[in-house]
Chains A and B, each alone.
Chain A
Amino acid sequence: MSEQIEQALERKYDAGFYSEIESETFESGLDESVIRRISAMKNEPEWMLEWRLKSYHAWLEMEEPDWAHVDYPKIDYQAISYYSAPKSMKDKPQSLDEVDPELLRTYEKLGIPLHEQEMLAGVAVDAVFDSVSVVTTFREKLEEAGVIFCPISEAVQKYPDLVKKHIGSVVPRTDNYFAALNSAVFTDGSFVYIPKGTRCPMELSTYFRINEMNTGQFERTLIVADEGSYVSYLEGCTAPQRDENQLHAAVVELVAMDDSQIKYSTVQNWYPGDENGKGGIYNFVTKRGIAHTNAKISWTQVETGSAVTWKYPSCVLKGDNSVGEFYSVALTRGRQQADTGTKMIHVGKNTRSTIISKGISAGNSNNAYRGLVQMGPRADGARNFTECDSLLIGDKCGAHTFPYIESRNPSAIVEHEATTSKVSDEQLFLCQQRGLDTEKAVSMIVNGFCKEVFKELPMEFAVEAGKLLEISLEGSVG
């Protein structure tokens, strides 16, 4: 049977095309002058530049972490270009009509039309292409509700107080090696602010696309939900198929003020490399949210791409009664490696967290769950429930679980459940005997395994995630 499944897993990467777009790309290499240039390109105020430079100097002193269960050649940070933008973006197009049609076609090909009338109803999109935001839709409609949704480079100009107050407040500049690098060189990303008591009237989403060769993407996203507000945000990402590895080191910070709720969903489909492990994106991302009193942060992620993933969306449950959730599906195949999970830091009283992680490994891939649940001394009555399930497809892949539990409060309760299962002969045979082909059968079994997580995604994207999984499992069964 494993042969049949192997075949079914020989996937094609639909988003692997490259768009011919004239770009302005920095020479590769990183030093202070590069950071000054990025800052100048963005027309940044002095404080922002200084923040970047401080981060850069801190980064120089830091060492690349090597504790993750992943293996990749050393990254040459001088071989990467830290800025690339379509030339047509230089004069800041005022409307969609002025945007390079090739750019719009790129997003259309990815199934993300940027003309508002063609959009999924109720979803506003910020499209980030290499180092810049190309377009943000539905801005006027959002402004009516007082919601700010714009490229972070623009927010630095227009809302400096908000940015200055919150940037680095959740993920400090020197938090870790990749976060420090990002803080020095971040180019664009989305900024969201939901005012007090406001329920954001539509889903917000950002689509990241790496197009140019040898460039890294270092986006930074900052979402601030003021007291009593609600927002649901989704990010998606793709990249062309290339033989070289490309670095993606993003930082996402969420600030959930008292009684607010942030739902953050990711459908990650970076190019995973070919079946021999050539090419693909290194996805080294720091995502963290801070939840104040009665606030709630949910991370939902569906990860099917990237050659190497190193990512732990986390919640600092600072306020009493705050809630953190992490729902994850990570699929690895070929030579992909993923080390992903979450951190739930319980600080306040009666804080609650739920972790549901589903890892699917196929081919020669390695899939690790790494999670930290920490109960602080003040976290009276705090609770955590963790469920960690691994599904193995074939006999050459690996699934690993590294749970860390630290409790400094005797009244806190921590539960951890873990299972490992296989797509069995019998399951496959049953499906085929009922007339389903191998591909359909495998994707159905895998989808069933992920059901608990998919139901957490916003409706529009649950379907998309299911399809993505299906495509990821699609192959050439004759």
Chain B
Amino acid sequence: MLSIKNLHASVEEKNIIKGLNLEVKPGEVHAIMGPNGAGKSTLGYVLSGRDGYEVSEGEAMLNGKDLLELDVEERAREGLFLAFQYPVEIPGVSNMEFMKESVNAMREERGEEPLSAAEFLKKAKEACKQVQLPLDFLKRGVNEGFSGGEKKRNEIMQMILLEPKLCILDESDSGLDVDALQVVADGVNSQRDGERSFIVVTHYQRLLDYIKPDFVHILADGKIVKSGDASLALEVEKSGYAFLGKAYEEVEA
């Protein structure tokens, strides 16, 4: 699915990712944890091709395609989905309209006919219910006036509709209460089908109680410094990032 080798990337000439390696196979769920400033969000942006995130070295392949050669929208159409930590508002553009355009852009890529308004509406309603958002959210402007939790659920709804191959969830748990967390996690779990892969970026172990990871990686100073199974997350929960050394304890404090 995804193969990252020796990736180096910078933002505004500051090196953030410094030699990162990661292999994600179909159907796997990888959690990436780490202290603030470790480069967790940067990884999502670099993989999705955001402007201003420069790759200086290394490679990132998605299903045999060189991601780094592709534009943002091409990567998206190859099946890479990023759930944003802070989803932005697009006033006046209804969720419905926005999602229909994107779903049809993906379908076009796959050589499928665009969905009619009625077909799309049916799917959208189902997805809306699944993340427990009232149906009028489809008519509202994209993220316009949504609460933090509603925005996060809206991201998961988009993920469900777009049927991506690889989903990167960037701190989808931040700012959620337990109920909302459950909804987000249920949405994600419903999409685990043995083929679709997930990278779950999180600061806290809490989310991983709901979305069981196959692997847990600790990202520090732009590199994966430790990998393990779900128990590694519990270890972090218990004793923090102290094992990384004194520097990180201070960052945490």
A417 to B: closest C-beta gap in Å:
14
Q: Is the CB of A440 within 8 A of B92?
A: no
For B90, the chain A residues whose CB sits under 8 A away are 427, 430-431, 444-445, 448
Cβ < 8 Å to A, chain B residues 84-119: 84, 87-93, 97-99, 101-102, 105-106, 109
For A436, the chain B residues whose CB sits under 8 A away are 73, 101-102, 105
Cβ < 8 Å to A, chain B residues 20-35: none
Q: Are A448 and B141 also in contact (CB < 8 A) when A4-B51, A432-B71, A437-B73 are?
A: yes
For A180, the chain B residues whose CB sits under 8 A away are none
**Would you give the 0/1 interface string for A389-429, flagging 1 where the beta carbon is closer than 8 Å to chain B?**
00000000000000000000000000000000000111101
Q: Is the CB of B73 within 8 A of A425?
A: no
Give Cα distance in the complex from A452 to B92, angstroms: 8
Q: Are A432 and B72 also in contact (CB < 8 A) when A444-B101, A448-B141 are?
A: yes
Nearest A-chain residue to B141, judged by Cβ: A448
CB of B18 closer than 8 Å to a CB of A: no
Cβ-Cβ contact count across A and B, 8 Å cutoff: 73
Give Cα distance in the complex from A424 to B87, angstroms: 12
Q: Is the CB of B93 within 8 A of A448?
A: yes
For A451, the chain B residues whose CB sits under 8 A away are 92-93
Q: Is the CB of A430 within 8 A of B101?
A: no
Nearest B-chain residue to A445, judged by Cβ: B90
CB of A1 closer than 8 Å to a CB of B: yes
**Would you give the 0/1 interface string for B141-164, flagging 1 where the beta carbon is closer than 8 Å to chain A?**
110000000000000001000100
Partner of B88, one of A424, A440, A447: A424
For B109, the chain A residues whose CB sits under 8 A away are 435
For A1, the chain B residues whose CB sits under 8 A away are 51
Q: How many of chain A's residues touch chain B, expressed as a range? A: 20 to 34
Q: Is the CB of B76 within 8 A of A450?
A: no
Q: Is the CB of B93 within 8 A of A429?
A: no
Give Cα distance in the complex from A432 to B91, angstroms: 17
Q: Is the CB of A440 within 8 A of B93?
A: no
Q: Is the CB of B48 within 8 A of A433?
A: yes
CB of A449 closer than 8 Å to a CB of B: yes
Q: Is the CB of B98 within 8 A of A433?
A: no
CB of B77 closer than 8 Å to a CB of A: yes
Q: Are A447 and B101 also in contact (CB < 8 A) when A4-B51, A424-B88 are?
A: no
Cβ < 8 Å to A, chain B residues 54-85: 71-73, 76-77, 81-82, 84
**Would you give the 0/1 interface string for A269-287, flagging 1 where the beta carbon is closer than 8 Å to chain B?**
0000000000000000000
Q: Is the CB of B105 within 8 A of A447?
A: no
Partner of A434, one of B50, B89, B92, B98: B98
For A427, the chain B residues whose CB sits under 8 A away are 88-90
Q: Is the CB of A447 within 8 A of B51?
A: no
Give Cα distance in the complex from A448 to B88, angstroms: 14
A312 to B: closest C-beta gap in Å:
25
Give Cα distance in the complex from A1 to B97, angstroms: 24
Partner of B50, one of A429, A435, A437, A440: A429
Cβ < 8 Å to B, chain A residues 445-469: 445, 447-452
B11 to A: closest C-beta gap in Å:
13
Give Cα distance in the complex from A427 to B99, angstroms: 14
Give Cα distance in the complex from A430 to B89, angstroms: 9
Give Cα distance in the complex from A346 to B141, angstroms: 35
Q: Is the CB of A435 within 8 A of B92?
A: no
Q: Is the CB of B87 within 8 A of A429?
A: no
**Would you give the 0/1 interface string for B206-223, flagging 1 where the beta carbon is closer than 8 Å to chain A?**
000000000000000000
Nearest B-chain residue to A477, judged by Cβ: B71
Nearest A-chain residue to B76, judged by Cβ: A435
Q: Is the CB of B106 within 8 A of A430?
A: no
A389 to B: closest C-beta gap in Å:
10
B172 to A: closest C-beta gap in Å:
15
Q: Is the CB of A445 within 8 A of B51?
A: no
Q: Which of A444, A448, A450 has the most CB of B within 10 A?
A: A448
Cβ < 8 Å to B, chain A residues 1-45: 1, 4
Nearest A-chain residue to B144, judged by Cβ: A448
For B98, the chain A residues whose CB sits under 8 A away are 431, 434, 444
Q: Are A435 and B93 also in contact (CB < 8 A) when A430-B84, A430-B88 are?
A: no
Nearest A-chain residue to B107, judged by Cβ: A435
Q: Are A447 and B82 also in contact (CB < 8 A) when A430-B87, A435-B77 are?
A: no
B8 to A: closest C-beta gap in Å:
22
Q: Is the CB of A435 within 8 A of B88?
A: no
For A449, the chain B residues whose CB sits under 8 A away are 91-92
Q: Is the CB of B93 within 8 A of A447?
A: yes
For A452, the chain B residues whose CB sits under 8 A away are 92
Give Cα distance in the complex from A436 to B142, angstroms: 15
Give Cα distance in the complex from A445 to B94, angstroms: 10
Q: Is the CB of A435 within 8 A of B91?
A: no
- Residues of chain B touching chain A, judged by Cβ–Cβ distance below 8 Å, are 48, 50-51, 71-73, 76-77, 81-82, 84, 87-93, 97-99, 101-102, 105-106, 109, 141-142, 158, 162
- Taking A429-B51, A429-B72, A433-B81 as known contacts, 13 extra A-B pairs with beta carbons closer than 8 A to each other, sorted by chain A number, are A1-B51, A424-B88, A430-B87, A431-B90, A433-B72, A433-B76, A434-B99, A434-B158, A434-B162, A435-B105, A435-B106, A440-B105, A449-B91
- What are 26 A-B pairs with beta-carbon distances under 8 A? A425-B51, A427-B89, A427-B90, A429-B72, A430-B88, A430-B90, A431-B98, A432-B72, A434-B76, A434-B102, A434-B158, A435-B73, A435-B76, A435-B162, A436-B73, A436-B102, A437-B73, A438-B73, A444-B93, A447-B92, A448-B90, A448-B92, A448-B93, A448-B142, A451-B92, A451-B93
9 tightest A-B contacts by CB?
A448-B92, A448-B93, A434-B102, A435-B105, A432-B72, A426-B88, A451-B92, A435-B76, A432-B73
